[in-house]
């Protein structure tokens, strides 16, 4: 079960996107093309328009070309639990870094930094995590705080992020699916980064 997100941004696209987020958060409206050019140190609008087009294609913003003031972040931060993409069954895919929406149940959990992922697949079906569910995750500061059998979101270098059972054996980390149709992922201890541990499953009925 893997985490599906928008494509990675280039350095230039990421620079503009981060600046847009900060600007909109401070001023509560979108900037002009000229302001973007000045912030990025550019003398032509063409590179800005190109970056905006790619940001929209990758799902980070919405804008009507030629109308900078129509620009909106697809995922704006609110007081809820951030929903960081979806979790899909199958092979490992890109790591999540986008904020899709917010799930307003943060008062249920007094834990700092809780985030959510949407399930899209069946690789954790035997753990009663089904397609369309939303899993609430607690950030993990240290891999040593995780116990065998915990369900975690794990970053596999060069491959992506996956949601699996965590098993530590000798100097290896085994990421096991809750579905016999999926093979376990076996990694060296130093080659895996645990991003979150399962708190709860949210299911719409």
Whether the per-residue pLDDT at 114 is higher than 80: the answer is no
Q: For residue 172, which of 184, 159, 160 has the smallest C-alpha distance?
A: 184
> How far from 165 is each of 1, 74, 160, 169, CA to CA, in Å?
10, 31, 16, 13
What domains are there in the chain, each with its CATH number?
A: 2-73 (1.10.10.10), 81-202 (2.10.109.10)
**Residue range 17-22: mean pLDDT, rounded:** 90
Asked whether 2 and 164 are in contact (CB, 8 A), the reply is no
Q: What is the pLDDT of residues 151-174, one digit of tens each?
A: 998 877 766 677 899 999 988 999
User: 164, 172, 193, 197: which one is catalytic?
Assistant: 164
pLDDT at 81: 57
Q: What is the pLDDT of residues 30-86, one digit of tens each?
A: 788 899 999 999 999 999 999 988 887 776 776 656 655 667 675 543 345 555 555
Measured distance CA(34)–CA(45) in Å, rounded? 7
**Residue range 115-134: mean pLDDT, rounded:** 80
**Residue range 8-23: mean pLDDT, rounded:** 88
User: 30, 75, 123, 153: which one is catalytic?
Assistant: 123
Distant-in-sequence, close-in-space partners of 120: CB < 8 Å, separation ≥ 6: 4, 86, 87, 88, 89, 131, 132
Q: What is the pTM of this model?
A: 0.53
Measured distance CA(21)–CA(125) in Å, rounded? 36
Measured distance CA(89)–CA(67) in Å, rounded? 39
- If one compares 7 and 6, the residue with the highest pLDDT of the two is 7
Active site residue 172: no
Whether the per-residue pLDDT at 24 is higher than 50: the answer is yes
- C-alpha torsion sign, points 168, 169, 174, 177: negative
Active site residue 123: yes
């Amino acid at each position: 079960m893997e985490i599906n997100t928008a494509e990675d941004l280039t350095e230039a696209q990421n620079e503009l996107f981060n600046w847009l987020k900060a600007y909109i958060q401070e001023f509560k409206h979108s900037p002009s093309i000229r302001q973007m050019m000045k912030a990025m140190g550019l003398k032509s609008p063409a590179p800005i328009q190109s970056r905006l087009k790619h940001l929209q294609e990758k799902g980070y913003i919405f804008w009507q070309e030629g109308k900078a003031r129509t620009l909106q972040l697809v995922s704006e931060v609110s007081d809820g639990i951030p929903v960081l993409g979806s979790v899909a069954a199958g092979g490992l895919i890109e790591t999540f870094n986008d904020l899709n929406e917010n799930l307003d149940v943060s008062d249920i959990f007094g834990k700092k930094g809780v985030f959510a992922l949407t399930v899209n697949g069946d690789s954790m079906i035997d753990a009663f995590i089904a397609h369309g569910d939303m899993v609430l995750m607690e950030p993990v500061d240290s891999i040593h705080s995780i116990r065998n059998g915990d369900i975690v979101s794990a970053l596999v270098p060069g491959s992506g992020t996956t949601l699996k059972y965590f098993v530590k054996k000798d100097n290896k980390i085994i990421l096991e699916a809750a579905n016999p149709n999926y093979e376990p992922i076996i990694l060296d201890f130093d080659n895996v980064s645990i991003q979150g541990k399962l708190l709860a499953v949210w299911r719409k009925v």
